Each structure stands twice: as structure tokens, then as C-alpha cells.
Chain A
């Protein structure tokens, strides 16, 4: 007799939503978390896109522990001394139902897990799942924990994050590799509220906020950066490919220091006091690096399933975690009704993912990681774009003005890049963003 119908491992967004949905469907579910409270182990950049929550937790924006509502989004290209920023602002995002919000994960994840508990899930924290328990028919029938006694269930949903030891133990992650991972390092810096609003051009006295995604500026390591505003802190960080990082001489915190010292970012963070330094891995391999997500008695969701979208314009994972957690819960609900917990009984999970934004977006952006981490996108194109603007904006009287095309052609020649590569990159970019 199992202790619960379902055990969900990991109280991140994927796990909490899986547990919440199952509890609402009337199932007994245990939500296992290794940290002292949900969110205590979790780090991200800082913006949650909550549209997917609308149905699950109506009016979530009135209850979620939000820092600021994003009303300004910038995508920034950096070279050593130049920067180019596409800066979009909208006051429409300052009203319900909003678009993105900054929040601290120890607050947000705890809130979401509390919602699951309210729905009837049993939260067990300070407990690490150390392995899978198999029934005599070979199905996963529970987890071993670092406490005396195993936790038995009909189905296990592994929402245990990027390192998912459970998916690996089940043999679902044969091609787990550092090439599909990036390291996120982050500093949270304190500044007075009004100062943040002034520096980021946010209407003062509001809880509106800004979000900057950065390409380049990572000292030769393929990756990117981000800057987000919280109520009285700024989150600034770098995302670094593990391959590039381990081959480099620059340490992660030095990359952040480089970003903070860049002439176009320094004025934003100047004089701010470090409140917390943190680090976490990101599964950036995209669609092609995903593990198997269905096993016998086991489903994998969220970061554990590699469902994180890191594609320059976008750095999103929480919404995919929530989406996949919901799909997993629905698939398990169906399996319980049929009484079939084998792979065949759970396979509707895959179809559900395919039918929603979760896998559709990942399929569409499958080339993103490769494109974004390429040298051309990391260094060469930003350089050309910045130089082009520099020459266009520089007034060189009495010399006659040169047109953008002339400048562009000269820069392209000087760069040694091939048209053929640029065409391919253009085609890929169109597939991803088009």
C-alpha cells in the first residue's frame, strides 16, 4: 500500500503546480523538497511570466509576492566600449493581467508551494530524494530519501531541477552533458527605491520595473547577461556556457564585475551594496538536448526535462516549468483513472506537452542555443552593428556623409565574415523569432 498516489520531487514551480493540480483533482500527493523551505535552493534571473497562472490561480497577481511589474524591456548588445539597446516601454504592462514580474524565488516558490498545500498536498521539506524505488514489476514505485524509510507512491513526478539525478538514475538522460548547460551567476545589489526608479527611468513611486537582456560583455565566454529591478535591489548577472567558462581564465564573479564596470551599465549599479551572491545551472540545450520525459511509473517536468528557454530575447523557465507540471498532473490523473502507471499508461504526458506552448515553443526555437552561443552572434554581429551606428552618428564635417549601405559594406568586408554564414544565421533566426 503506497503512502500516496503520487510523489512529486522538488517544490520548484514545476513540482508545486503538479502537486497543486493533482490535489485539486482529489488525489493524495506528497511534495518533497530538499531545502528547509521551498525556494531556498533556487536561483534565477528574475522575471516570471504569469500568463500560464491565470487559469490555475485566478487573480494570482493580487496574491503573488511580486517585487515590480515589468514595463520596460531592453535587449542590449555590448562590445568593449559600445552598446546598442532596443528599448521598449509599455504602460499597458503596468495593469492587470500584467506581463512579467520580478520576484525572489525563495518568496515566489514558497507562495506557490503554500498554494499546493492549501489545495491539499502534503509538503515534506528538509528531505532529499536519494534514489528511485522499483516495484517487483520494474515500475518506479517511490523514492528513497535521506531519512529512515522510503516514500512509496503509484507514480513519481521528477521536478528536481537541472541536475535531475532521478531522471539520470532512470536512464532517461543518456546525453546529459556540459555542452547543454550554462552557469548563471548573479549579484543582488541594494539601492534605495527612488534611486532605482531614477536610474532606470521608471515612473517614481510606482512598482513598475525594467528588464535588460544582454548579448556580449562576457569577456570572450559564450553567454550573456541580465539586469532586473526589484523593489529596492537590482539583480545583475551573467549566463556562461560551461565549455567556454572552463576553457577560460576568467572566473564567474569577474564576468559580473566586467558587466558592472561596462560604461553603459556602471551608472546603473554604481555604489550599490552587495546583498547576495548566487549561482545555478541552466539547461540551455533546448529541444534537441531534452531527455526522455516518460518512464515506467515516472514523469519528468520543468528544468529536469530541460524545458528552459534561453534564447537571447527570452530567458524563460518558470512558465515552462509550470506548464509542464500541469501537463504531468493531467497525464497522471488519466493514468490513475485507467489504473495503468507504466510508460504506456503515462504517455499522454508527451502529447499534452506537444499540444501546448511548452513543446511548441521549444520545437520552434530548437536552433536557438546553437545560434546564440556562436562566435558570430556573440561577438561579430554586435561589433558590426555597433560600429555601423557609431559611424552613422559620428559627424565628420567637412567630409561628406556616407550612407548606411556604404558603411555597412565596408564593415562587412573588414570583418571577414561570409555571406553564406550570415544567410544561414538569418534563416535560423527567422525560424526562431520569425
Chain B
């Protein structure tokens, strides 16, 4: 990261996500099997998910939150571990709603 981008991160990530409208479904459209992730060496999802929805847990697993997801598909495309991510679109009418896409 350059100095400049570090300065920029003053805009807290939560504030960044607060600019996006989500109609949250009551069921998760993406699930992550933390057990499978334990053996993952790339951890590509951590850096690649534009919504920063993957975080590591103390015990080396992955904690995933489905609510503020762009439904972009990056996570399953970069994940090499078969079975780690189960990916579906959310129920029709739910999920992200862009205003300036």
C-alpha cells in the first residue's frame, strides 16, 4: 500500500459500505465452510472480496457475513478449495440495489 492509500483509508470501510443499499434477505445466499478454509494457503478471498466480507478467526478459520454482498462472484472465482464456498444469488428482489451502477 502506498502512503497515499493509507491516508485514504481514513474513510472507514463501514462508511464506504453505508453508501450502498441492501435489501437484506433472511437467508444467506453464500455460505463458507470454515473447516475447508483451515487448510487454505492462498486466503485469496480476504484481499479480493470488494465488500471485505471474509475475516479470519483466531482459530484459523474464516468468518463470513452475507448481508452486504455485491453478488459479484469474485470470491468463488478466486477460491481454489473445492467446497469452501457455496454460492447462489439471493432470493429475487433482495440483496444489493445500486443507484449509480
Contact = CB atoms under 8 A, between A and B. Distances in A.
Determine which residue in A145, A230, A280 has the highest number of CB atoms from chain B within 10 A of its CB, and name it. A280
Contacts of B5: 219, 250, 254-255, 257-258, 261
Interface stretch (A240-248, A293-301, A353-361): A240-248
Nearest to B13: A253
Interface string A265-278: 00000000011111
Interface residues of A, number: 57
B15 to A, nearest CB: 8
B78 A35 contact: no
Interface in A26-58: 34-36, 39-44
Interface in A138-172: 145-147, 162-163, 165
B70 A278 contact: yes
Given A251-B47, A257-B4, A281-B77, A126 B98 contact: no
Given A257-B9, A275-B19, A242 B101 contact: no
B91 A276 contact: no
Contacts of A254: 1, 5, 8-9
A163 B92 contact: no
B11 A41 contact: no
Given A44-B101, A279-B70, A281-B72, A147 B48 contact: no
Nearest to A161: B73
B93 A125 contact: yes
Contact of B50 (A235, A253, A257): A253
Interface in A107-155: 125-128, 130, 145-147
Contacts of B13: 253
A104 interface: yes
B interface: dominant SS: loop
Contact of A258 (B4, B23, B90, B99): B4
B101 A39 contact: yes
A242 B77 contact: yes
Contacts, number: 152
B74 A279 contact: yes
A342 to B, nearest CB: 29
B78 A245 contact: yes
Contact of B16 (A34, A39, A41, A253): A253
A245 B45 CA distance: 10
Contacts of B1: 219, 249-250, 254
B101 A245 contact: no
A368 interface: no
B28 interface: no
Contacts of A34: 89, 92-93
A106 B101 contact: yes
B39 interface: no
Interface in B69-101: 70-74, 77-78, 88-93, 95-101
A105 interface: yes
A246 B47 CA distance: 6
Contacts of A127: 92-93
B42 interface: yes
B7 interface: yes
Interface in B1-52: 1-2, 4-5, 7-9, 11, 13, 15-17, 19-20, 23, 42, 44, 47-48, 50-52
Interface of A: 34-36, 39-44, 104-106, 125-128, 130, 145-147, 162-163, 165, 177-178, 181, 183, 185, 188, 219, 230, 233, 235, 242, 245-255, 257-258, 260-261, 274-281
29 contacts: A34-B89, A35-B92, A36-B93, A36-B97, A40-B96, A40-B97, A41-B71, A42-B101, A104-B99, A105-B98, A106-B100, A125-B93, A146-B91, A181-B77, A185-B50, A230-B100, A235-B100, A245-B78, A246-B42, A249-B47, A250-B47, A251-B52, A254-B5, A257-B5, A277-B20, A278-B101, A279-B74, A280-B70, A281-B74
Interface of B: 1-2, 4-5, 7-9, 11, 13, 15-17, 19-20, 23, 42, 44, 47-48, 50-52, 70-74, 77-78, 88-93, 95-101
The 8 residue pairs across chains A and B that have the minimum distance between CB atoms = A126-B93, A261-B4, A246-B44, A257-B8, A279-B50, A257-B5, A43-B101, A188-B100
